[in-house]
Structure 1
Amino acid sequence: MSSSNRYLKFTIKDTDKKKLRKFLEHQHFSSSQLHNLKNKGGQIFVNHKQRHFDFEMKTGDSLLVVLNDEKPSGLIEPMAGSVDVVYEDEYLLVVNKPPGIASLPAKARTSKTMANVVKYYLAAKHENSSIHLVTRLDRDTSGLMVFAKNSYTHSLLDQILHTDGFKKYYLAIVYGQMEPASGLIDLPIGIDSKAYYMRAIDWQKGKDSQTMYKTVEKFKTASLLQLKLLTGRTHQIRVHLSATGHPIIGDEMYSHQKDSRMNRQALHCYELEIIHPVTKKLLKIKAPIPQDMVLLRGMLKG
């Protein structure tokens, strides 16, 4: 395993906590991560000397944290497959998921999912191949998916997932035109009483759910929308759009109609804006509109 994705470097500032454990807690290390650092082979060096959690640091000290090796779980088999890498560094990996492949294995574990092919991809590069899925997409939604390369980066990303530090933008082609042309859909989503795998608007037991939308292009019978998720409910965009009377073209489950022009929901996660949890740089990552949605748009333009 290459060790590049296991090093974290810090220079201690005036305002930082000086006791090592307190400093790491301030850097959002969870108690289980601290436990693993201490008991599962992690190492901590201050100015190139190995130190323990109770060590008192000084301003200007350089701290190097070597994360412990992670044993990949046997639940996800590595499987060869194509991985369209859009962004990668030693902390995270962003891939462009094609439609028709699930994010994670279901109970049966036999079919190939993005988690399986990413695990194979990381193992082939001798990197930590524990799978840390940060964002998932429905099987028939395409676009950007984020994997963290270690549990520390994963927990940092989880903490900013539904904040302005982690913005997710989607494109959808829907029936009809939204009135007003842009706005906020704020409707609670719960499990559909008719089918456990479906979701529905549920005023009694539903969870708070918000989707911002903006019309990008209007056609005679349809429109192209840009959507921004403020919460992350299962099927959120699909349920919200169908509740407004403008379901996504090709989304049989929520539009209740087959559409010969599209054999899946016309929904694509096309842009992420993430404040990198380790480097603090702003990442703007894009995935081009897939071919089937380009063709649909062409047909609608007529």
Structure 2
Amino acid sequence: MRFDFTADEHVKVKIFLKKHEVSKGLLAKIKFRGGQILVNGQPQNATYLLDIGDLVVIDIPAEEGFETLEAIDYPLEFLFEDDHFLILNKPFGIASIPSVNHSNTIANYIKGYYVKQAYENQQVHIVTRLDRDTSGLMLFAKHGYAHARLDKQLQKKAIEKRYFALVKGAGVLEPQGNIIAPIARDIDSIITRRVAKGGKYAHTEYKIVESFGDIHLVDIRLHTGRTHQIRVHFSHIGFPLLGDDLYGGSLEHGIERQALHCHFLSFYHPFLEEQLEISSPLPDDFKNLITKLSII
């Protein structure tokens, strides 16, 4: 895969490329795995001194897929795809990555898709993942350089994700608000989390979209990314997610998983040089319950 840049400083190639988030690791990959650096059409190394206006081209070698990740053919719903990124509308009930308990995962299906399409780069780069029973938007980079550039945005909290959740509680949920409470591992479990002094700072912002008695559809924005953050925070304020029996959610309304759906994703596309915004509609189990509640 080839990328080109115009030098705007009188500096070494490696210093100039660092401004474009080309890491030392990627430069090493270019050097030792069949890539090349060209300056004005001539092969050069990373220490070559550039003049302003020089055309710098990097050829990045193809990425082979990990042999340990099995490619599985499975129908997927893609909401965006170009040469650099892919955005999937993930169904609930499927884990993002393989583990001891899960082998048929989104990562397996994405590799299966890459193999079927005969893409040059076969490595699966997950930028944003979701829990097994959370549905909605997942973002993938289609090559390592794209992944590195979005990692920088993740570090700067420049990638925005918003979620819909169905929550239920006995008290009053304010129309909008912020839940700021530290989250730590549960003392008695390696899976669950809890609000606790000494935990990591966590900030969840929400707004009620619609209410049906004691059940509310809320639009949520995460300002931090702690494990189970939305589930823990809403349980903490007395409004656990429907279907989330791990954190006290009601199982009485036909929702068979935590009622959580990533419906909006926004990030700066570094190759198109524009902000990209993708939305996902409410999943069927949300819509079916809302329809039922609306006519009661």
TM-score w.r.t. the length of structure 2 is 0.93
Match of 2:246 in 1: 253
The match for 2:190 among 176, 182, 196 is: 196
Please state how far the C-alpha of 1:129 moved relative to its aligned partner. 1.4
Alignment of 1:1-302 (within 5 A): 6-13=1-8, 16=9, 18-107=11-100, 111-127=103-119, 128-161=121-154, 163=156, 165-176=158-169, 179-204=173-198, 206-255=199-248, 257-301=250-294, 302=296
User: How many residues in Structure 1 have an aligned counterpart in Structure 2?
Assistant: 293
Q: Is the 8 A contact 2:241 2:250 kept in 1?
A: no
1-structure distance, mates of 2:184, 2:231: 13
1-structure distance, mates of 2:67, 2:140: 18
Match of 1:3 in 2: none
Q: Is the 8 A contact 1:178 1:246 kept in 2?
A: no
1-structure distance, mates of 2:234, 2:254: 19
2-structure distance, mates of 1:211, 1:149: 30
Please state how far the C-alpha of 1:47 moved relative to its aligned partner. 2.1
Q: Is the 8 A contact 2:184 2:196 kept in 1?
A: yes
Please, which moves more after superposition, 216-225 or 56-65? 56-65
Q: Output one character per residue of 1:199-245: Cα deviation in whole Å (capped at 9) or x when no partner.
A: 111212x2111111111112112111100111111111111111111
Tell me the percent identity: 38
Which blocks of at least 5 consecutive residues in structure 1 are unaligned? 1-5
RMSD of equivalent CA atoms: 1.7
State the SS of the aligned residue for 1:25: helix
TM-score w.r.t. the length of structure 1 is 0.92
Please, which moves more after superposition, 284-293 or 48-57? 48-57
Report the AA paired with residue 56 of structure 2.
L
1-structure distance, mates of 2:193, 2:36: 45
Which blocks of at least 5 consecutive residues in structure 2 are unaligned? none
2-structure distance, mates of 1:214, 1:248: 15
Report the AA paired with residue 125 of structure 1.
Q
State the SS of the aligned residue for 2:46: coil
